[in-house]
Amino acid sequence: MAYDLIGDIHGHALTLQALLERLGYRRSSGVYQHPERQVVFLGDFIDTGPHQRRTLEIVRPMVETGHALAVMGNHEFNALAYATPRDKSSHLRLRDEKNGRQHGAFLAEYAVDSTDYLEVMEWFRTLPLWLDLGDLRVIHACWDRDIIHEISNHCNGPRMTDQLLRQASTRGRWEFKAVETLLKGKEIPLPDGYHFHDRYGTQRHHIRIKWWDRNETTYRGKFLGSKEWETHIPDDPIHADHGIEYGHLEPPVFLGHYWLAGKPKPLASNVACLDYSVARPGGKLVAYQWSGETNLRESSFVQVDRLE
């Protein structure tokens, strides 16, 4: 099977339609499809953009009719936790002002606890945390084989069960750290006195790192994220090995999540991120046309500049 892998959409349905059409997909019986290829969505369908409902009306039928596969992103996980009661007076994710603002675009189109809102939550629950397709791997942020093995053994595979959702929403449990790593990336603390502010204005004292790259030895070199934050990251050496073993002979793995900029290209011979910040002005929606190669090619990236 040949796959077209598509990065984080964040409610930018018009840009998604343009990318699908550039990749050769045409709408038939209301569903985008290709006679020879299948899409793999990397998660983060919702939040931020102007067309939340329209995005899901494109993605869901493709998945449900077998014209696409998809994994869960951290925004779908957050939405599930926001929707799920912890007890009679609270939810797994607090319904406070900060979280409500982060979910604002989605909640503007899906009234909280309405019938269609709860139906979308049930669909989110069907999304696996990862896909291992043999010659190809897909995960939203970080392929950590030890965590994947642990979740597979304790939770019967990659599906987000109610038990896993509750445990992964409880700080101090191993499931919390495990799902955080898979869906948000591996993080390390910055040295004392250093911090930066993320796109929501939240002060951050940890950075997400190039988890597969053991050659980088400084905080700035190890940092994986938007270039605009790099100046806040010290170029000091890291006095520990925080990497994850991912050998160059392992199958290619595709990621989303990291809000990259510039010209899309592989991060390593068998690692590619497809999130190029469509959720902000000047960003783009990016795909990779994979046809069985073990060494990823810059020429196989396809991009559409943000339309909304």
Contact 175, 148 (CB under 8 A): no
* Residue of higher predicted confidence among 242 and 106: 106
**pLDDT bracket for residue 214 (50, 70, 90):** confident
Q: Which tokens in the block code for residue 34?
A: 């290709």
Mean pLDDT value across residues 190-218: 81
Identify which of 292, 302, 307 has the alpha carbon closest to the alpha carbon of residue 133. 292
Strands 253-255 and 137-139: parallel
Residues of the chain by 3-state class (helix, strand, coil), percent to 5: 30, 20, 50
Decide: 238 and 212 in contact? Cβ < 8 Å.
Answer: no
Q: Is the dihedral of CA 163, 107, 105, 32 positive or negative?
A: positive
**Of 283, 286, 289, 282, nearest to 273 (Cα)?**
286
The per-residue pLDDT for 238 is 86
The count of other CB atoms within 10 Å of the CB of residue 59 is: 22
Residue 278 has pLDDT above 80, yes or no: yes
Question: Other C-beta atoms within 10 Å of 126: how many?
Answer: 13
Q: What is the pLDDT of residues 105-159, one digit of tens each?
A: 999 999 999 999 999 999 999 999 999 999 999 999 999 999 999 999 988 889 9
Asked if residue 226 has pLDDT above 80, the reply is no
Question: Taking the model in full, what pTM does it have?
Answer: 0.94
Cα separations in angstroms, 172 against 73, 160, 167, 175, 235: 21, 19, 9, 8, 31
Residue 234 pLDDT > 90, yes or no? Answer: no
Question: Which residue type occupies 67?
Answer: H
Which one-letter amino acid corresponds to residue 13? A
